[in-house]
Structure 1
Amino acid sequence: MAEQTPSQTPAQKAKAAEAARKQERLRAALKANMARRKTQARARNAPDTGSAGAASQKET
C-alpha cells in the first residue's frame, strides 16, 4: 500500500513560514548578542594602558 502524506493547507504553510522567519530573527539576534558580549569580555580583560598611565604622570 502507498503511504499518503497529508498536504498542508495554505494557512499551515503560512504559519510554518512565519515560524521559520522568527527562528532566523532569533538566531541573528543571538549571534549579535554573543559577539557584543565577547567584545565586552575582551575589553574587561585587556590591560589598561591608556588613560591611567597619563593621569598618574600628570600628578607628579
Structure 2
Amino acid sequence: MSNPDRDQRLAAKLRENLRRRKAQAKARTAPADRSEQQGGAGASKPEPTGKKET
C-alpha cells in the first residue's frame, strides 16, 4: 500500500528536519557555553609572565 518513493522522500525530510533542529539547539546553547569557558578559565589560572617564581 505504501509508495517506496514517498517513504524515501519522507525519510529524507525527517533527517533534514532533525539536522536543522539540532543546529538550532546548538546555536542556542553555544553563546552560554563560550561565556562560561571564558569566565571560569581566566579566574582560576593566571597567565604566565615570562618570569620565574622563586
**TM-score, scaled to structure 1:** 0.55
- 2:45 matched to 1:55? yes
* Superposed CA RMSD: 2.4
Percent of aligned positions that are identical:
11
Is 1:23 the counterpart of 2:8? The answer is: no
Identify the range of structure 1 (30-39 vs 47-56) with the bigger mean alpha-carbon deviation: 47-56
Structure 1: 4+ residue segments shifted above 4 A: none
Could you tell me which runs of 5 or more consecutive residues in structure 1 were left unpaired when the two chains were aligned: 1-9
Bigger Rg over Cα = 1
Gap runs ≥5 in structure 2: 50-54
Equivalent residue pairs, number = 46
TM-score w.r.t. length of structure 2? 0.59
Q: Alignment partner for residue 29 of structure 2, among 32, 36, 39? A: 39
